[in-house]
Amino acid sequence: MGAVGTKSELDELFGILGTADVRGYIGEPVSQLEHALQCAHFTRLSGGGDVEIAAALLHDVGHLLPYPKQEMGEFGARQHERQGAAYLESLGFPLAVTELVAGHVDAKRYLAAVDPHYAAHLSEASRVTLRWQGGVMEPDERDRFAGQKSFESLLLLRRCDEAAKVPAFDCAPLAEYRPLLEGLLAASPRTENGSSLAAFSVAL
């Protein structure tokens, strides 16, 4: 993807993310944007690379897309992880990023099943959405999930996601992540048909 295309895609994405500063985050004491920035910050502090940091920043973009959505009561869009991954794939982000975005809800379901400490410290909003999202994973689901190449990155993203709900926490602004996202887009040429994620409807 050329520099002009990259700028156009990022302008669109940053326009969507810019609305997150005034949008509450599904019952948590932070805005959607604060949550995204904290998640990226904690992922970087935890040793995540560019792919993991980008996925952390963008993992909830599906909540922000201006398309019809099925809602989880007052707790955001159902299947927002799939909508967000499909949207990011359409912009040209690499599969390594979109897979993490698509899998972050399943990572929650996995951790809630296997890690009693994680499950016990879920916020009330996360407990409510977990029920909408299918509840804890069954053993056969856990085996399949743990077999993914991105397994460790998914767990890192999910743990940072759950931690990223701190009111008035000081971290880097959105603009600081633009060079990182530009680099990922520039290194990931768009294909005609895209990956299978492109087949997901934004109106799921």
pLDDT on residue 181: 96
At 204, which amino acid appears?
A: L
Q: Check if the beta carbon of residue 172 is closer than 8 Å to that of residue 133.
A: no
161-172: per-residue pLDDT in tens?
Answer: 999 999 999 999
CA-CA distances (angstroms) from residue 94 to 109, 146, 199? 24, 21, 15
| CB-CB contact of 3 with 171 (8 Å) | no
Q: Which of 137, 13, 133 is nearest to 77 (CA)?
A: 133
Q: Which of 71-75, 80-84, 134-138, 186-190 is predicted least confidently?
A: 71-75
Contact assessment for residue 103 and residue 154, using Cβ atoms and an 8 Å cutoff: yes
Could you tell me the pLDDT band of residue 198, with boundaries at 50, 70 and 90? very low
pTM: 0.84
pLDDT score of 26 more than 90? no
Q: What is the mean pLDDT of residues 73-99?
A: 84
- Pairwise CA distance, residues 136 & 114, whole Å: 9
Q: Give 109's contacts (C-beta < 8 A, 6+ positions apart).
A: 130, 133, 134, 135, 136, 137, 141
What structural domains and CATH numbers belong to the chain? 3-189 (1.10.3210.10)
